[in-house]
Structure 1
Amino acid sequence: MILSAATIVAALGLSGCSPDAPESTAPSTTASAPVAAPQPTGLPEASVLIDLLNRLSDPALPGTDKLALVEGATTTDAADLDRFAKALQDNRMLPMAYTATDVAWSPDTPGDVTANVTATPADAGAGPFSFPMEFTAKAGAWQLSRKTADLLLSLGGQAANSTAVPTPTSTR
């Protein structure tokens, strides 16, 4: 959307530069639009995306502090973010090691970025898994797209219910 808006503004600006267009000397009476927060201008480094994922999966960081990491997150999402990190912790998946490869502009959402993320749980028995993720820029920083966050939070809830590891018991 940001890229489309910039393209439209550029096209309008260029069309006003035509030599056939009369020059206007009258002052403008329209109010200027609010200035948007600066957006990242290039693809993020993989380390930026990995840091975001580490913060999202950190059970020591409250869900309310993670809201800025997810596109469109509201205070009602904080509990889901807490449950997601708790499920990872309860299933001995933390600390999770992330890698992000093939970082590229999204073909579906202009201005967004896609990456293939591989997560390797601390519990060696779980094995690594890969997941394509989408990230969006807001206020000069990267966030997990709402679409990807909804998928992860859903997976987090399922993981907590379906893959719980039993606690070893003593036979003495």
Structure 2
Amino acid sequence: MRYPLLGVLSAVTIVAALSLSGCSEHAEPKAAQSPFEQSSTALAPPEPALPTPDALTDVLYRLADPAVKGTDKLQLVESTTPDDAATIDTFAAALRDGGFSPLTFTATEIRWSDRQPADALASINVTTTNPANPGNFRFPMEFRQDKGAWQLSRETANMLLAFGNAREGSTPAPASPASPTPTP
């Protein structure tokens, strides 16, 4: 039986076209998404929030309070041990005895640290309202979050606690070379 050449070529062309189209990649039609699904896939996960000024100044108020024992302040400073309690007590006593109390702390310019991305940096304005010894200064401080609470970084604490040691006449604790320095 002879098939006309045109008929054979047409059949071969149709088979080839169907087989080629079956091998090519086609995007499957997507099921319709609800508006909630569409918006949730387009959003990036939220970034952690910077600490509030009150969260940071609360740490400083508690550290500077001579009525609170040093052992009750250990959680306010990164990497402290019970041996640090006496130094923390000395700092608070030096503020009181030096005529710097009462103090007011104000946190501004809060931002994430470039060196330690999970740490927050803030400019802390410290003002003494003692009429016998009025004054203020601004000091950059670093804070770290631990178990949901903010605490002073060890580097910043070393600088502040060195002040307490100097007031008592002992050798100040060494500060890290990467520690923040006071603004003139």
For the aligned pair, the TM-score class normalised by the smaller chain equals 0.5 to 0.7
Cα deviation, 1:28-80, whole Å, max 9, x if unaligned, reads xxxxxxxxxxxx93101001111110000000000000000000010010000
* Counterpart position of 2:59: 52
* Counterpart position of 1:108: 115
* Counterpart position of 2:161: 153
In structure 2, how many angstroms separate the alpha carbons of the residues matched to 1:128 and 1:74? 31
Q: Which structure 2 segments of 5+ residues have no match?
A: 1-46, 171-184
Q: TM-score, normalised by structure 1?
A: 0.68
Cα deviation, 1:136-157, whole Å, max 9, x if unaligned, reads 0100110000000001000222
Query: Does the C-alpha gap of structure 1 residues 160 and 118 become closer, same or farther in structure 2, counting only changes over 3 Å?
Result: farther
* Counterpart position of 1:134: 142
In structure 2, how many angstroms separate the alpha carbons of the residues matched to 1:141 and 1:116? 19
Using CA pairs below 8 Å that are at least 6 residues apart, which structure has the higher relative contact order? Answer: 1
Q: Which structure 1 segments of 5+ residues have no match?
A: 1-39, 163-172
The answer to whether the aligner puts 1:72 opposite 2:89 as a matched pair is: no
Percentage of matched positions with identical amino acids: 47
The secondary structure found in structure 2 opposite 1:155 is helix
Amino acid at match of 1:84: F
Pick aligned residue for 1:84 from 91, 105, 125? 91
In structure 2, how many angstroms separate the alpha carbons of the residues matched to 1:114 and 1:160? 29
* Counterpart position of 1:118: 125
The secondary structure found in structure 2 opposite 1:128 is strand
In structure 1, how many angstroms separate the alpha carbons of the residues matched to 2:134 and 2:82? 32
1:114 to partner: Cα distance: 0.2
Query: Does the C-alpha gap of structure 1 residues 161 and 127 become closer, same or farther in structure 2, counting only changes over 3 Å?
Result: farther
Q: RMSD of aligned C-alpha atoms?
A: 1.7
Q: Which runs of 4+ in 1 moved over 3 A?
A: 159-162
1:123 to partner: Cα distance: 2.5
1:161 to partner: Cα distance: 4.3
Amino acid at match of 2:125: T
Q: TM-score, normalised by structure 2?
A: 0.63
